[in-house]
Amino acid sequence: MTRTLRLAFLLTVIATSIACQRPSAVHAPVPRLVLSGTDGRPHDLSDEARSARFTVLFFSAWGCPCQSVHDARIRELSARYRSRGIHVFAIDSELGGSIARDTVEAERRGYAFPVLVDPGGVLARALGAEYATESFVLDAAGAVRYHGGLDSDRKQLHDDARPFLQDALDDLLAGKPLRTAESKALGCALQTW
């Protein structure tokens, strides 16, 4: 094969690969929605984003063992970043989601942040959320700056797990480019409406 043909072939492979990639959710704006929370308040996601340096939305599935093993990390993350102007919300987009059920689960799990009910899975569909613990970090304009998993662990926690969400928050707070703007969420598939 001549050098020109090899180069043409390589460029075709690269172009095809780029064209077939799933479009990134990073920088897409969050839709304007008002969701009821376990704190007894309605939460307008656009207003929430504007009132925080960054806002973390993570999707929940109460029966998911991956989420259960991550509860301590979720609580630690919320506590660590609360004083730095970061708001954390769990999102329940699953069938049968209700304030009553979510209040019980949030209390049982020790969540010090509200769980928001997403009736009909509107937010999940708009953001493309498919898995428990799938996380989105919004900036003050409501744009998604990070999308993916909490870390590189699934059903067992490891000391050397890559803390994707924590790294993204640290990078954003420092004004640095994100080490990882998008990663794979490793939780159970959401059973949405």
CATH number, residue 110:
3.40.30.10
Q: Is 118 contained in some domain?
A: yes
Q: What SS3 class is residue 105?
A: helix
Q: Indicate if the pLDDT at residue 139 is higher than 50.
A: yes
* Phi and psi angles of residue 57, each rounded to the nearest 5 degrees, phi first: -115, 125
Q: Is 112 contained in some domain?
A: yes
pLDDT of res. 23: 35
Q: Is 7 contained in some domain?
A: no
Domain that includes residue 37, residue range: 25-174
More confident residue, 99 or 18: 99
Q: Can you tell me the distance from the alpha carbon of 191 to that of 181, in angstroms, rounded to the nearest whole number?
A: 26
Q: Is 30 contained in some domain?
A: yes
pLDDT of res. 162: 92
pLDDT of 89-109, one tens digit each?
A: 999 999 999 999 999 999 999
Q: Is 18 contained in some domain?
A: no
Q: How many CB atoms lie within 10 A of CB 95?
A: 10
Q: Is 2 contained in some domain?
A: no
Q: Is 181 contained in some domain?
A: no
Kindly state the average pLDDT of the residues 72-89. Answer: 96
Q: Is 184 contained in some domain?
A: no
- Split into its structural domains, the chain has a count of 1
**Alpha helices by DSSP H, 34-133:** 45-50, 65-82, 99-109, 122-127
Q: What is the pTM of this model?
A: 0.83
Q: Can you tell me the distance from the alpha carbon of 191 to that of 130, in angstroms, rounded to the nearest whole number?
A: 9
pLDDT of 28-37, one tens digit each?
A: 678 889 999 9
